[in-house]
Amino acid sequence: MLEDTIAAIATPLGEGGLALIRVSGAKAPAIADRIFLPAGKRSQKPSTAPTHTIHYGKIIRHNDNQSPAPPADGPATGRAFEVIDEVLLAVLRAPRTFTGEETIEISCHGGLLPAKLVLDAVLANGARLAEPGEFTRRAFLNGRLDLAQAEAVADLIHSRTEVALAAANEQLAGKLSRRINRLRDDLLHTLARVEAHIDFPEEDLAPDTQEQLLSRLESALASMDELLRTANEGRILRRGVRAAIVGRPNAGKSSLLNQLLGRDRAIVSPIPGTTRDTIEETANMRGIPVVFIDTAGLREARDEIEEEGVRRSRLSLAQAELLLHVLDASEPLTAADANHLAEFAGKQRILVRNKVDLPVKLELPPEHACPPRREAIRASPATGPEFGASVVDVCCLNGEGIEKLKDAIKDRVWSGAIEAGMLEVMINSRHQDALNRAREAARRTIDALRGDAALELVALDLRIAVNAVGEIVGQTATEDLLDSIFSQFCIGK
C-alpha cells in the first residue's frame, strides 16, 4: 500500500475561505502535471518545480481522459478540458515532507463542491482515496515520527484548551519518546547482560554483577512508576472531566450551565421541569477541559417523557466524575434535598447554592456546611465512600460567584498549579497499559534474579518488558495495533 499515491481533503467539510487537498506518493508530481495549468510564461510544471515552492494556476478536468496535458503557456486548442477552480499548488519533495514522500498540496476555494471536484480530478488521474490517518501512518512507517509522536498529532487536533495543546506539542516534539527510548535502552542493556551469561553457562552470575542488574532494573521500575503517575493528568487533558449538574427542578441548573459556558445554551424558564433531556457542552475551566452535563430535575416523573429524562439524568450521574449539586438558597432545605445530599455523598461534588441575591433561607446540615478538604480527581479518583464537598454561593441571574465556582472546579479536578514541566510527559491509556505490562514483567524479573531462578526465565520476562515498552514508540508495534490507532484519525490526516 505504500506504493500507492493517496489523496484526501485535509480541511473540515463545509463552506469556508479555503480548502486543502493533500496528495502523497511517488506519482503525486505526475498527477499534478496532468490536472494543473500554471499561470505565467515562466511557470513550471509541478514535476520540474523546486521543492517547497508555491505556484498559482488552475485545476482542470479533461473532457477526454486520454488527452495530453495542456501546454504551460496557455490552454489547449479544442477545449479538451474545463477549469474547475483557481488554486495555489505547493510542491514538496521527499524526504522533507510530513509523510517523507513526494507531496502536492492544493489550496482551492472552500466549499463542498470545489474541494470535491479537485479531489475527483486527482483520483481520476491515478491516486486513491486515503484511509483514516493514512498520511500520519506513512509518516510513522517512513521514520518521520514514532508512534507516540503520531498519537500526539491527533491530540493536537482534538485539543480543547491551551494546556492540552501545550501537552500535545511537547509529546509531538519527542519529550515522551526520549524518556521511553532511554527506558527501553536500559532494559535492553540489562537483557544483553543476562543473555551473555546464558551463552556462557560455565560462568556463574557473580554477586556484584547480579547487584548491578538488580539496581538497573529497580531504576527502570522507578522510571515506569513516574510515568504511570501522569496517566490521570493525561486522561483529563485529552478527554476532559465529566461534570453533571444535578438538583431539584427549578433550582437553576440550566442557568448555571449558561453562566459557565458564557452563552445561552440551555432553555431557562420559571416553569419546573423545562429540561427533559441531558445537554452536554465542553468548557475551559482554568486550562482544564470540563464536559458539563445539564440534567433533568430529579423528582417523581409525571409522564413518560419526564421519566426518560430522569433515567438519563441518573445515567449521567453514574458516569460523572464530578457533581455540581445545585440547591435553591431562597428556600429551606427540603426532604428531597436532604435525600440527594445523602445519595451523592460518595461522589466528588461541589454544592452550589444558587439565588443568593434573594433572602437566604437554606441551611445546610453541619456535615455539609464545613466539609473536609480532599485531594483532587487528578490525584485521587472518586472511588471511596466520602469525598467531601466544596460549598460555593452563586447568583446565576447576575453571575455573582461564578468565577469562584470555576476556581473550585479546577481545584477539584487538578490539585496544585499547572506547571510547564509537568506537561512534557503525560501518557495516554495505551501507554498506561503497555507500562503496566512492562512493570509486571520487570517485577517478575527482579524476583527471579533474587530467587536465583534460571537465567532463561529471567530473560523471558525481561524480553516481555522490553517489547511492552517498545510498543509505546512503535518499536514492536503490530499491524492490528497500528490499525486501531490510526483508524481514530480523520481521513485527511
Please check whether residues 440 and 409 belong to one and the same domain: no
Which of these, 87, 39, 83, lies nearest to 60 by C-alpha position?
Answer: 83
Please report the pLDDT score of residue 470 as a whole number.
95
Residue 332, Cβ density class (10 Å: 0-12 exposed, 13-18 middle, ≥19 buried) = exposed
Please report the pLDDT score of residue 316 as a whole number.
74
What is the block-wise mean pLDDT of the chain (493 residues), using blocks of 10 residues? 89 88 96 93 89 95 61 52 93 95 95 92 95 94 93 89 89 93 94 82 65 91 93 86 86 87 64 58 87 73 63 75 90 85 83 90 71 49 47 90 92 77 84 95 92 86 94 87 84 81
Q: String of b and e for 21-30 (b: at least 16 CB within 10 Å)?
A: bbbbbebbbb
Bridge partners (DSSP) of residue 291 are: 242, 282
User: Do the domain assignments include residue 10?
Assistant: yes
What CATH number did the domain enclosing 446 receive?
Answer: 1.20.120.430
Per DSSP, helices labelled H in 174-230 are 175-199, 207-228
User: What's the structural domain count of the chain?
Assistant: 3
User: Do the domain assignments include residue 139?
Assistant: no
Bridge partners (DSSP) of residue 279 are: 294
Please report the pLDDT score of residue 382 as a whole number.
38
User: Do the domain assignments include residue 357?
Assistant: yes
Please check whether residues 432 and 393 belong to one and the same domain: no
What CATH number did the domain enclosing 99 receive?
Answer: 3.30.1360.120
Residue ranges making up the domain that contains 77: 6-130
Which of these, 60, 74, 67, 149, lies nearest to 106 by C-alpha position?
Answer: 60
Query: What DSSP character marks residue 116?
Result: H
Please check whether residues 353 and 244 belong to one and the same domain: yes
Nearest 5°: phi and psi at 230? Answer: -90, 0
Whole-number Å distance between alpha carbons of 77 and 70: 9
Domain boundary among 385, 419, 453: 419
Please report the pLDDT score of residue 449 as a whole number.
87
User: Do the domain assignments include residue 144?
Assistant: no
Decide: 39 and 145 in contact? Cβ < 8 Å: no
> How many CB atoms sit inside 10 A of residue 456's CB?
10
User: Do the domain assignments include residue 140?
Assistant: no
Whole-number Å distance between alpha carbons of 416 and 427: 19
What CATH number did the domain enclosing 291 receive?
Answer: 3.40.50.300
Whole-number Å distance between alpha carbons of 349 and 380: 13
Q: Is the CA virtual torsion 144, 149, 155, 161 positive or negative?
A: negative
Whole-number Å distance between alpha carbons of 331 and 334: 8
Please check whether residues 413 and 351 belong to one and the same domain: yes
Decide: 208 and 256 in contact? Cβ < 8 Å: no
| CA 234 to each of CA 100, 155, 165, 210: distance values in angstroms, whole numbers, following the listed order | 29, 10, 12, 36
Please check whether residues 186 and 71 belong to one and the same domain: no
Whole-number Å distance between alpha carbons of 304 and 301: 7
Please check whether residues 268 and 397 belong to one and the same domain: yes
Please check whether residues 264 and 369 belong to one and the same domain: yes
Decide: 479 and 119 in contact? Cβ < 8 Å: no
Please report the pLDDT score of residue 208 as a whole number.
66
Whole-number Å distance between alpha carbons of 259 and 3: 53
Please report the pLDDT score of residue 75 as a whole number.
44
Please check whether residues 397 and 450 belong to one and the same domain: no
Which of these, 215, 217, 151, lies nearest to 441 by C-alpha position?
Answer: 217
User: Do the domain assignments include residue 278?
Assistant: yes
Query: What DSSP character marks residue 394?
Result: -
Please check whether residues 351 and 433 belong to one and the same domain: no
What DSSP assignment string belongs to 119-135?
A: HHHHHHTT-EEPPTTHH
> How many CB atoms sit inside 10 A of residue 132's CB?
17
User: Do the domain assignments include residue 58?
Assistant: yes
Write out the H or E segment, with its range, that includes residue 170: helix 162-172
Decide: 265 and 275 in contact? Cβ < 8 Å: no
User: Do the domain assignments include residue 102?
Assistant: yes
Please check whether residues 308 and 352 belong to one and the same domain: yes
Please check whether residues 217 and 244 belong to one and the same domain: no
Instruction: Give the distance from CA 307 to its chain's centroid.
Output: 35
Whole-number Å distance between alpha carbons of 384 and 345: 10
Domain boundary among 373, 401, 419: 419
Which of these, 152, 119, 116, lies nearest to 133 by C-alpha position?
Answer: 152
Bridge partners (DSSP) of residue 130 are: none
Please check whether residues 252 and 154 belong to one and the same domain: no
Query: What DSSP character marks residue 2?
Result: T
Whole-number Å distance between alpha carbons of 176 and 125: 41
Please report the pLDDT score of residue 128 as a whole number.
95
